[in-house]
Chain A
Amino acid sequence: MPTKIEKDSVTGTETTGHEWDGIKELNNPLPKWWLYVFYACVLFSAVWMVLYPSVPYLRSHFGGVLGYTQRDAVAKRLEEASGAQAQYRDQIAKLDIQAVKADADLNRFALAGGRVLFAENCAPCHQSGGTGAKGYPSLADDDWLWGGKLEDIQMTLQHGVRSTNDDDTRVSQMPRFLADGLLTMPQIQAVAQHVLSLSGLDKPNADGAKLFAEQCASCHGEQGKGMREVGAPNLTDKIWLYGGDKAVVVQSIAYSRGGVMPAWAGRLDDATIKMLALYVHALGGGE
C-alpha cells in the first residue's frame, strides 16, 4: 500500500508512491474495455466452476451440475471408435483368413490393429515385434513348431499349445528320458553330441546317432528335421528355443520341455484372432 499519494506536477496523474532513484511511477489507469474483458473472464470462470468439476473436497470433489467427467468422455470416445471399426471387423469375422489377406483395405486394417492387439495380448511372452525369448519362440523367424501358414497360426492362436481348457489344443509330450529311466546320463550325453553335430556344432557321435534313431526319430525325424504335426522342433537348423549349449540340450533330453500357450478362442473374438494371425504372419517368417 503506497504510503503517500501525490500528484505528478507535469502530467497531473497520481503516482503510485513508489520511487526508484528519484524516478516516480505514475499510476496510469487501465482502459475500461480491458477491464470489462477481465470481468467477463471472471464471470466465465464462475459459470464454469458451477457447470464443470472444480472445487476439491478432502476426499472427493465438486462434480459440477453437468455431471461431466473425463472418464465418461474417454469411454464415449472409445465406444465411438469401436463403432467406427465395426464395418471392418464384421467383414474380417465373416471372411476366410485368406480372403481377408487378399483384400488390401481389410489387410491394412488387420495389420495396423494386429500390431496393437499383439502388444496387448502376446508381447508379454513373445516380446514386442515377436522377438521371442528363451522358451518363447520368436515369431519373426522362419522356424515354426506348429506351422507358419496363415491357417496354422490361426489354429494355434485359437486353441493354444498344451492349453488345459481346450480339447482341441495342440499337444505333444516329449519323454523325460533320464527321469523316466529310458536313457542313462552317458547315453544322453552321446545323443546330445549327435544332435549338436546335426547343425555342425559338435563332432559326430555314432552311439548317439544309434540311440537317436531308436528313441527320437519317431518325432524329430530320421534326419532330425522335426515334425510339425506333433510340434517337434527341427534340430538341424541354427535356431535353439532353449539355447544351443550342450548342457542345455542334455537338460532338454533328460527332463523334457513343453511350452504352454493359452487358447485364445474364448477370450478374443474371431476377428481379433484373424487380425493377430495376419500380423504374426507378416512379421517376416510367414509361409
Chain B
Amino acid sequence: MIREFTQSEFIFILSSARWTLLLTVLSLVLGGLFGFVVAIARTSRLAPLRLLAAGWIGVVQGIPVLILLFLAYYGLSMLGFDLPPIVAASISMAFYASAYLGEIWRGCIQAVPWQQWEASTALAFSRPQQYRYVILPQAMRIAVAPTVGFIVQLVKNTSIVSIIGVIELARAGNLVNNATFQPFKVFGTVALIYFAICWPISLLARRLEGKLNASRAG
C-alpha cells in the first residue's frame, strides 16, 4: 500500500536525526581521544611511534568509510564481540575520525613555532610539561576551526552506517521512500535536515578561521 508523505512521516524522519547526532557525538568523543593519541605519537621524538601513527593515518585515509565500517563490524564479531549496530558504527566512525583528526592536530602542533619548544626547553620543562603547558594550549587555538570543519564531514559520513541497520536520517529516509514513493520530497527533506545541521557548523568553522587569521595578523 502506498502511503502519503504526511506530517507523521516527516516527524519520523526528523526524530531519526537524534541517532545521527548521537553517532556524531560518540564518534567525535571516541575518535577525538584516539586522534589525540595519534597526533601526539605523530609528533613524538621516537621514530617508531611517529611511523606507527603515520601508518595508521595513511591506512585509514586510504580506505572508504563504508569498508572501515564492515571491517569493524565483522572484525569485532569475529573476535567474539556481538555488538549492537550503533556501537559497531560508533567504533568504526571513531577509527575514521581518529586518523583525520590525528592528522589535523599534528599540523596544529607543528604550527606552533619551534622557538616555543626551545624557550621551554631552556626553562627546564620536561617533554610532557612542554606539551601540557606550552605547546598544546597554543595548538588548540589553531585546531578549533579545522576541527569544527571536520565535524561536518563526520555528520555527513554517519549516513553510511545506515547500511548496518542503524535507523538514522538516511535510513529513515529510505524507509519512508519505500512506503511513499516520493523520492524528491522524502530525500529532499532528509537533505534539508542534514543541511540544517551542517551549514551552521560550516559557518561557525569559517568564522573561527577568520577570527584566528585576524588575531594572527594583528
Is chain B a partner of chain A in the same complex? no
B interface with A by C-beta (< 8 Å): none
